[in-house]
Structure 1
Amino acid sequence: MKNRETPLGPAAPDHHLQRSLRNRHLQLIAIGGAIGTGLFMGSGKTISLAGPSVIFAYAIIGSVLFFMMRAMGELLLSNLNYKSFVDFNYDLLGPCAGFFTGWTYWFCWVITGIADVVAITGYIKFWAPGVPLWLPGTLCISLLLGLNLLTVKLFGELEFWFALVKIVAIVSLIAIGAVLIGIGFTSPSGARAAVSNLWTHGGWFPHGGAGFLAAFQIAVFAFVGIELVGTASAEAQDPLRTLPKAINSIPIRVIVFYILALLVIMTVTPWDQVAPDRSPFVNLFMLIGIPIAASLINFVVLTSATSSANSGIYSTGRMLFGLSAGKLGPRPFAKLSNNNVPANGLAYSCILLFIGVLLLYQEGDIMKAFTIVTTISSICFIFVWSLILIAYMRYRKLHPERHAASIFKMPGGVAMCWLVLAFFAFVLWVFAQKQDTLAGLVYTPLWFLALAVCYPFYRKQAIEHRKETH
């Protein structure tokens, strides 16, 4: 294994991660990041909690995160030596912010990967109820690790095809749903497909404001990974052209892949007939009596979870590489393999994903295990997104000339940053209102306490490294 070390931060003269991702890879990675396991696995629970008003939750969250992404995009393009948001946090807010951002983002993806292992097990049990709980996740982790150890281009190809499967499935679901609504299809349970199903079963807010707010936890988790395109841009061939295009398409993706898909599900089958512990995408086709189609959709949602796990493995390896190269992590993670991939970081992260397998044996209930890990993941992602906005405000203060020259300015600027931060605070308050999400909110600070304990061991060498690279 060759030892190639690269400093973290904007003054890095060279970066050995290869720019092998093409425009089609970056666009589909962006789409794949916006269509997460939370949509396929968790939307059944959000529908049961909020009824038709769930579409407003997804629309609000998608709109807010668009502005966070625009802030990230302007920062990344303001200095192409920034390889990820960890780099600009390190540069603009200091090594401590870089340390907390990088390690928390790594932790986010480990936790998300654990959630994906849980989800993959649930999807496999659709076909093979008797399969041992440990087998699906173990096979998936081993396969994705092997593929990620080869080349970044292979990761791009995997995500391209994973995302394409998701797009085709959702567009097909919308088209089939439109036909069923048009012909007035009646399911075996006696429910008739009609647009009026959106308001004739208790109205748009059947469980009131409390039900609507309760849906936010899984709805937020559905969007985690939306910032992955910022990490992947470090290995994109033409970030000045491809990154703005990927970020600007977020509103369209939210409308098509979330709002239209959920509207179709709740018009074909009334919201109160959607099982909270099953994927409504699978459930829809089961209700209309097409078991083969249900198997196909189960394959699609399995692909989605595998795609998310693949993204997580990719991200954790890159994050450990960047942290360690900037003297904010163990030295072995700063090494690249002969294929220019951070093999040590990839392997270490994958070992931790097996916690998901253990969690299944502890909890037994797949949906309960999924809720625990997604809550913790969502809170940590909100922390990372918040630091991106804080770094943007710092950038506006320190480098007004860069902002003036930017070709991709964030709409609303600093004022919008404060609005988005206020929304994130509101979401955390919502998490505190329900018992299952409150547990995640209570235990997540332990992670930040652990980081606070560890940071002094890296502080001195990180500050010295920063001086050397500026």
Structure 2
Amino acid sequence: MSATPPIMAKEPATGDPGSSPASPDGLRAGLKNRHLSMIAIGGVIGAGLFVGSANGIAAAGPAILLSYALVGALVVFVMRMLGEMAAANPTSGSFSAYADRALGRWAGFSIGWLYWFFWVVVLAVEATAGAKILEGWVPGVPQWAWALIVMIVLTATNLASVSSYGEFEFWFAGIKVVAIAGFIVLGALALFGVLPGSDSHTAAFSNLTSHGGFMPHGPGAILTGVLMVVFSFMGSEIVTLAAGESEDPQRAVTKATNSVIWRIGIFYLGSIFVVITLLPWNSKAIADKGSYVAALDSIGIPHAGQVMNVIVLTAVLSCLNSGLYTASRMAFSLGRRGDAPRSFARTSGRGVPRVAILASVVFGFVAVGFNYLWPDTVFQFLLNSSGAIALFVWLAICFSQLRMRGIILRENPEKLVVRMWLFPYLTWATIGMISFVLIYMLTDDSGREQVILSTLVAVLVVALGLVLDRRRSAARSQ
């Protein structure tokens, strides 16, 4: 493999000096600690939690709690590994840059472009989801126009400055956090019979076991539940990319890594626990209305459906905002390392990689067009071919950490302020868990196509990375 310069090597910013200090990558350190805190918290609360949890509950019953716990543990381990590397070497390229250093340039190239592809497809998905909600409120504006408006507004936000992205995400994440916390508090009050208007006949701890037992569909349903909930956790790694543009990257990464356990415990396990104790898991209301709307209805919250639409829209806008930021920063890092057009690495006077942002949003616009023109063919292919990429990213993080631990100890041992537990045994165990999920997806009708198509795309990108790597090596040897 070709030699790669240390990832902490600094390059000067290509834009004019801004008011914020330069980050290690030459971007502007415009994110404050409060921004990073909310990005870290909000990163684990996606629209999938609100929208997709009903299907998981139907598939596994109360045992869906174990599914969430298993995936939550997986995310905690991956974030711990990523936090170890990011605290020592904060960079906008995050795990792509670490794969570049630890595994070879082909690996950094491959995982960077695959992750970029994943997020630009997510842009189209979330823009369409948000447009559907907005069209329901203002039917006079067609759905495609709402998608266009949402994309333009958030693009302008990201183009303005990184602090604009941080401020928007601070409030988006704040609304999600307050909503989940309020839901858990109200649910607990109803469960103990102290909330007026709640349905005391349905709310009970006995709902965990009274309707076919805790595992009504058997232990195997827990794994089915894992497949259904794993993708609602995607995005927790965004904070390590954003930390590169913060005032104190090491502190931000350390704090985010250490708090991921309670964040997942409260927001995922806590809220799902409330749902399946307020209502029987097989309640028709959960299937018809969705888990959170049904739970809110059962405790007498008026206009529960509209309340949840506001929260889901907030989650969608948050995902769009972060998705555009994440894709653009990955493109910027690839450009800076010579794995993408050099123009991607140019920044404005405010330290914003505008070309990288515009390139990402253009593909997002194209994907939105595919969603309206060919939803069942071209867009479905994009969805399936990017579906398992996040799991590939997690695997790359694991393998990179196995090598990076030694590199950090050899070069800057004092920077190893976050350590993966039980290294290397828990790292290998996490690799085994992720691999098992991918293999188990092959037994599922919808998961099988995602794994196969995502693997084909990954193989093509890796092959391209290897070819480019070999050409660079040959050029240097001449």
* Cα offset, 1:324, TM superposition: 1.2
Which amino acid letter does the alignment assign opposite residue 55 of structure 2? K
**Matched residue SS, 2:130:** helix
Select the residue among 259, 262, 282 that pairs with 2:269.
259
Residue 337 of structure 2 aligns with which residue?
Answer: 326
* Cα offset, 1:351, TM superposition: 2.2
Report the more deviating stretch, 126-135 or 48-57: 126-135
Select the residue among 297, 303, 312 that pairs with 1:292.
303
Residue 3 of structure 1 aligns with which residue?
Answer: none
Cα distance change on mapping 1:181 and 1:372 into 2, 3 Å: farther
Alignment of 1:63-462 (within 5 A): 63-80=73-90, 84-124=94-134, 127=137, 132-183=142-193, 192-273=202-283, 274-276=285-287, 279-288=290-299, 290-354=301-365, 357-358=368-369, 360-361=371-372, 377-401=386-410, 405=414, 406-452=416-462, 454-455=464-465, 458-459=468-469
Distance 1:142 1:466 in 2: 43
**Matched residue SS, 2:212:** coil
Residue 59 of structure 2 aligns with which residue?
Answer: 49
Cα distance change on mapping 1:188 and 1:170 into 2, 3 Å: closer
Which amino acid letter does the alignment assign opposite residue 59 of structure 1? A
2:74 is the alignment partner of 1:26: no
Cα distance change on mapping 1:421 and 1:156 into 2, 3 Å: same
Cα distance change on mapping 1:8 and 1:303 into 2, 3 Å: farther
Which amino acid letter does the alignment assign opposite residue 443 of structure 2? Q
* Cα offset, 1:185, TM superposition: 7.9
**Matched residue SS, 2:219:** helix
**Matched residue SS, 1:149:** helix
2:9 is the alignment partner of 1:11: yes
Cα distance change on mapping 1:20 and 1:188 into 2, 3 Å: closer
Distance 1:277 1:114 in 2: 26
Distance 2:172 2:314 in 1: 6
* Overall identity of the aligned pairs, in %: 33
* Cα offset, 1:182, TM superposition: 2.1
CA offset digits 1:146-165 (Å, max 9, x no partner): 11100001111111111110
The answer (yes or no) to whether the contact 2:93–2:330 under 8 Å persists in 1 is no
Distance 1:443 1:323 in 2: 24
Cα distance change on mapping 1:462 and 1:305 into 2, 3 Å: farther
The answer (yes or no) to whether the contact 2:6–2:101 under 8 Å persists in 1 is no
Unaligned stretches of 5+ residues in structure 1: 1-6
Residue 17 of structure 2 aligns with which residue?
Answer: none
Cα distance change on mapping 1:351 and 1:218 into 2, 3 Å: farther
Which amino acid letter does the alignment assign opposite residue 420 of structure 1? T
Cα distance change on mapping 1:174 and 1:188 into 2, 3 Å: closer
* Cα offset, 1:244, TM superposition: 0.8
* Cα offset, 1:415, TM superposition: 1.0
Distance 1:130 1:275 in 2: 30
* Cα offset, 1:361, TM superposition: 3.9
**Matched residue SS, 2:340:** coil
Cα distance change on mapping 1:79 and 1:359 into 2, 3 Å: closer
Distance 2:131 2:219 in 1: 33
CA offset digits 1:253-307 (Å, max 9, x no partner): 1111011101111122222125457542233334555443431221011101110
Report the more deviating stretch, 203-212 or 241-250: 203-212
Distance 2:126 2:368 in 1: 10
* Cα offset, 1:186, TM superposition: 11
Count of aligned pairs between the two proteins: 459
Cα distance change on mapping 1:462 and 1:183 into 2, 3 Å: farther
Report the more deviating stretch, 428-437 or 448-457: 448-457
CA offset digits 1:403-426 (Å, max 9, x no partner): 853222111111111000000011
RMSD of Structure 2 on Structure 1 (CA) = 3.1
Report the more deviating stretch, 223-232 or 196-205: 196-205
* Cα offset, 1:225, TM superposition: 0.7
Q: TM-score, normalised by structure 2?
A: 0.87
CA offset digits 1:180-239 (Å, max 9, x no partner): 222288999996211211211222212223322222223111111111111011101112
The answer (yes or no) to whether the contact 1:76–1:82 under 8 Å persists in 2 is no
The answer (yes or no) to whether the contact 1:326–1:465 under 8 Å persists in 2 is no
Distance 1:270 1:372 in 2: 37
Cα distance change on mapping 1:439 and 1:388 into 2, 3 Å: same
Residue 69 of structure 2 aligns with which residue?
Answer: 59
CA offset digits 1:376-425 (Å, max 9, x no partner): 54511111111111111112344434585322211111111100000001
Distance 2:51 2:382 in 1: 13
The answer (yes or no) to whether the contact 2:28–2:350 under 8 Å persists in 1 is no
Unaligned stretches of 5+ residues in structure 2: 13-24
The answer (yes or no) to whether the contact 1:376–1:444 under 8 Å persists in 2 is yes
Report the more deviating stretch, 247-256 or 130-139: 130-139
Report the more deviating stretch, 411-420 or 452-461: 452-461
Residue 4 of structure 1 aligns with which residue?
Answer: none
Distance 2:343 2:455 in 1: 28
Distance 1:270 1:64 in 2: 28
The answer (yes or no) to whether the contact 1:46–1:218 under 8 Å persists in 2 is yes
Report the more deviating stretch, 373-382 or 258-267: 373-382
Distance 1:123 1:412 in 2: 46
The answer (yes or no) to whether the contact 2:158–2:325 under 8 Å persists in 1 is yes
CA offset digits 1:77-122 (Å, max 9, x no partner): 2235685222222122221011011111111212222332243244
Which amino acid letter does the alignment assign opposite residue 327 of structure 2? T
**Matched residue SS, 1:311:** helix
**Matched residue SS, 1:323:** helix
